[in-house]
């Protein structure tokens, strides 16, 4: 048993993916820009992977740029598009629940003279489309809203947002790092102009991602140097990573329904059992428009950090919010944006189920969680006050 329940933070590389990657570290180590055989072969491998990525989201291969992951794709898209269209306007629209790769890029752009509107979400985490429409100005050039949230799993109304962007002649970028590999994506049908994805979130390797940018959309390059990636992203291609990314996306979409069904069943079982076994909880996010493996539950009267430490003692890996923010004592910006009070946001546990999890592992998690929550509550002054107030 692995007891790994943090698949939104990263996933184990699929054995099939790893197997495809290995020869590119050893026998076939050539630089794809070189003209001799091991160079040419690697160029071919890179272009085949590009076709696989394009096919998965219904884009064209020449609209795919390989990057070092989701964060680089987000940075490149947002900065690159904002600067390329600066003559037209300096206003960007995003949401309050974005990943730091988007939020921090927007904050940086504000310091550089851009104007950013941060759209709110409802209690389920769905962006307010009216607020989005009302925020559009003459100077708006870019809307960047995530496809699915990494903490609460909510899937945003991407097609509607794409339509609004198109009608107003605004470029639409989406951080789809959590969605790719779990949700069917068609960039044409959804009017997506730009999209970020990352290999390690769907059983591919870490440190490799891709950015899709529609042919007609311009963006300024971010990494300067050689002429790789159509002169848009310099640096010798990460051939093993690119091959792994291509394989991972192919595997994910060839078994999508089957995997999602199994993952969702386990997730629903977990949530139902928690509801049955543990009182005073709050289920966060939307149960309809939600990533199949995600659950986010607040346990009142306890701290998420205490929960995580105790779960870790039992060999269970989970998260209390986004992995990037754990370690800080601020409650998650996503949980605050859906309206949770600080004390409830603090007691939140994110369990993200993946394709390697088993029912046996979920049962082990449930048994330990029940015991730990009860023990931590018995030590909590808030719980004591609550009980003494005649609440039990």
Ligand X SMILES: *Cc1c(COP(=O)(O)O)cnc(C)c1O
- Is 71 an interacting residue with respect to ligand X (CB under 6 A)? yes
For residue 198, state whether it binds ligand X (rule: CB under 6 A).
yes
- 240 touches ligand X (CB under 6 A): no
Does 354 sit near ligand X (CB under 6 A)?
A: no
The residue among 224, 238, 199, 230 whose CA lies nearest residue 70 is 199
**Residues 2 to 21: which contact ligand X by CB under 6 A?**
none
Residues 129-158 that bind ligand X (CB under 6 A): 146, 150
Closest separation between CB of residue 78 and ligand X, Å? 12
373 close to 156: Cβ distance less than 8 angstroms = no
Q: Give the position of tokens 């944006």.
A: 337
Instruction: Choose the binding region for ligand X from 68-76, 154-162, 249-257, 326-334 (rule: CB under 6 A).
Output: 68-76
69 binds ligand X per the rule CB under 6 A? yes
The three-state (H, E, C) secondary structure of the chain, written as one string: CCCECECCCCCCCCHHHHHHHHHHCCCCCCCCCCCCHHHHHHHHHHHHHHHHHHHHHCCCHHHEEEECCHHHHHHHHHHHHHHHCCCCCCEEEEECCCCHHHHHHHHHHHHCCCEEEEECECCCCCECHHHHHHHCCCCEEEEECCCECCCCCEECCHHHHHHHHHHCCCEEEEECCCCECCECCCCCCCCCCEEEEEHHHCCCCCCCEEEEECCCCCCCCCECCCCHHHHCECCCCCHHHHHHHHHHHHHHHHCHHHHHHHHHHHHHHHHHHHHHHCCCEEECCCCCCECCCEEEEEECCCCHHHHHHHHHHCCCECECCCCCCECECCCCHHHHHCCCCHHHHHCEEEEECCCCCCHHHHHHHHHHHHHHHHHHHHCCHHHHHHHHHHHC
For residue 304, state whether it binds ligand X (rule: CB under 6 A). no
- Tell me how far, at minimum, the Cβ of 155 lies from ligand X, in Å: 12
Instruction: Rule CB under 6 A: say whether 177 interacts with ligand X.
Output: yes
75 or 310: CB nearest ligand X = 75
**Please, what is the minimum distance in Å from the beta carbon of residue 177 to ligand X?**
4
317 noted as active-site residue? no
38, 271, 324, 382: which is the annotated catalytic residue? 324
Which one, 98 or 193, has the nearer CB to ligand X?
A: 98
Q: Give the range of 126-134, 174-182, 291-299, 363-371 binding ligand X by CB under 6 A.
A: 174-182
Does position 99 bind ligand X by CB under 6 A?
Answer: yes
Q: Which CB, 99 or 377, lies closer to ligand X?
A: 99
**70 or 306, CB closer to ligand X?**
70
Q: Check residue 94 for interaction with ligand X (CB under 6 A).
A: no
| Cβ proximity to ligand X, 69 vs 80, nearer residue | 69
Least distance from C-beta 67 to ligand X, angstroms? 9
The distance of closest approach from Cβ of residue 105 to ligand X in the complex, given in angstroms and rounded to an integer, is 11
Q: How far is the CB of 347 from ligand X (least distance, A)?
A: 22
Total residues at the site for ligand X (CB under 6 A)? 14
List residues binding ligand X (CB under 6 A): 69-71, 74, 99, 101, 146, 150, 175, 177-178, 198, 201, 209
Q: Which residues are catalytic?
A: 324
């Amino acid at each position: 048993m692995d007891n790994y329940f943090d698949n939104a933070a990263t996933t184990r590389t699929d054995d099939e993916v790893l197997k495809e990657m290995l020869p590119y570290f050893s026998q076939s180590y050539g630089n794809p820009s070189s003209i001799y055989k091991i160079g040419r072969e690697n160029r071919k491998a890179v272009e085949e992977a590009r076709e696989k990525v394009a096919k998965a989201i219904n884009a064209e291969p020449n609209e795919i740029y390989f990057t070092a992951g989701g964060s680089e794709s987000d940075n490149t898209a947002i900065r690159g598009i904002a600067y390329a269209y600066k003559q037209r306007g300096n206003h960007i629209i995003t949401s309050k629940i974005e990943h730091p790769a988007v939020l921090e890029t927007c904050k940086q752009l504000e310091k550089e003279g851009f104007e950013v509107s941060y759209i709110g979400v409802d209690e389920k985490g769905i962006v307010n489309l009216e607020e989005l429409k009302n925020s559009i100005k003459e100077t708006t050039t870019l809307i960047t809203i995530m496809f699915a949230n990494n903490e609460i799993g909510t899937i945003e109304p991407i097609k509607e947002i794409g339509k609004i962007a198109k009608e107003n002649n605004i470029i639409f970028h989406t951080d789809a790092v959590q969605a790719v590999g779990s949700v069917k994506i068609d960039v044409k049908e959804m009017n997506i102009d730009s999209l970020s994805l990352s290999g390690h979130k769907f059983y591919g390797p870490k440190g490799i991602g891709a950015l899709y940018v529609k042919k007609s959309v311009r963006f300024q390059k971010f990494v300067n140097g050689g002429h790789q990636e159509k002169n848009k992203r310099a640096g010798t291609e990460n051939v093993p990573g690119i091959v792994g990314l291509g394989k991972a996306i192919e595997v994910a979409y060839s078994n999508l329904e089957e995997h999602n069904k199994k993952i969702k069943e386990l997730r629903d079982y977990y949530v139902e059992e928690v509801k049955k076994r543990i009182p005073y909880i709050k289920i966060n996010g939307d149960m309809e428009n939600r990533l199949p493996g995600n659950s986010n539950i607040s346990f009142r009267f306890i701290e998420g950090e205490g929960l995580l430490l105790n779960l870790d003692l039992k060999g269970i890996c989970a998260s209390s919010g986004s992995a990037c923010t754990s370690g800080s004592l601020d409650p998650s910006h996503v949980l605050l944006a859906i309206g949770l009070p600080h004390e409830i946001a603090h007691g939140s546990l994110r369990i993200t189920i993946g394709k390697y999890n088993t029912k046996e592992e979920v049962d082990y998690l449930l048994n330990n969680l029940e015991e730990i929550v009860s023990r931590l509550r018995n030590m909590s002054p808030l719980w004591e006050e609550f009980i003494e107030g005649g609440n039990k």
